[in-house]
Amino acid sequence: MPESRPDYLPPEVQEILLSSEAIERRVRELGRQLEKDYAGGRLKFVCILKGAVPFAADLMRATALPVALDFVAVSSYGAATRTSGVVRLLKDLEHPIEGEDVLIVEDIVDTGLTLGYIRELLARRGPRSLRVAALLDKFERRVAEVDVEYVGFRIPDRFVVGYGLDYDERFRNLPYVAVLKPDVYRGEGA
């Protein structure tokens, strides 16, 4: 089994787009911004499974705020590389969010369809505030208008894996964000 280290590139990976050091630095900056924006308050993270788990965990540790954590799981991709446009709720919150300051923590926003669905779903539950933190923003692919108040990085329209992002449930464990070689997923019309 290959050693997991920042300079290890699986053969399916073309290049590292964002190093683990760059991600760590940006997550710390976002944590400090959350401390300023929610000073003296409590914050509930709603982590979008599965891809946002590493980002949510690191972001929680990057802030001194009291943070509660809950999860939702949705599906719009399956094993494909492009969203189907149909969003299904697979796992709902375990605790109510009414009257709370809620931060949706997402790994990547591209078309905005999934995030728009989640934001609307949670807004109907009466949180005091509802904002979004996304590690990655593929803004040029946006088809639905959604607000993303905290963005880690804007990236080009390339298929990325690592730091929670996957292709067919693989590569989530890479400590960086990398571009997947097109021949790995070429047969899907991506």
Mean pLDDT of 47-52: 96
Q: What angle do CA 45, 51, 55 make, to 5 degrees?
A: 50
Higher pLDDT, 185 or 45: 45
Residues spanned by the domain of 125: 20-158
Specify the DSSP element, H or E, that contains 121. Answer: helix 113-123
List, for residues 76-114, the tens digit of each pLDDT value: 754 445 555 678 889 999 999 999 999 999 999 999 999
List, for residues 106-159, the tens digit of each pLDDT value: 999 999 999 999 999 999 999 999 999 999 999 998 999 999 999 999 999 999
CB 166 within 8 A of CB 51: yes
Asked whether residue 1 is assigned to any structural domain, the reply reads no
Asked whether residue 170 is assigned to any structural domain, the reply reads no
CA distance 13 to 99: 44
Asked whether residue 164 is assigned to any structural domain, the reply reads no
Specify the DSSP element, H or E, that contains 70. Answer: strand 67-75
Active site residue ranges? 110
Asked whether residue 54 is assigned to any structural domain, the reply reads yes
Contacting residues for 100 by C-beta, under 8 A, at least 6 apart: 42, 44, 68, 127, 128
Asked whether residue 81 is assigned to any structural domain, the reply reads yes
Specify the pTM.
Answer: 0.89
Asked whether residue 173 is assigned to any structural domain, the reply reads no
Before 181, cis peptide (omega within 30)? no
Q: Residue 54, CB half-sphere, CA atoms under 13 Å: how many?
A: 21
CB 137 within 8 A of CB 23: no
Contacting residues for 35 by C-beta, under 8 A, at least 6 apart: 63, 64, 65
Asked whether residue 75 is assigned to any structural domain, the reply reads yes
Domain count, the chain: 1
pLDDT of residue 166: 94
Share of residues in the chain with pLDDT > 70 (%):
89
pLDDT of residue 189: 38
Handedness of CA 99, 105, 110, 111 (dihedral sign): negative
CB 23 within 8 A of CB 163: yes
pLDDT of residue 7: 64
Mean pLDDT of 51-73: 97
CATH of the domain at 61: 3.40.50.2020
Asked whether residue 190 is assigned to any structural domain, the reply reads no
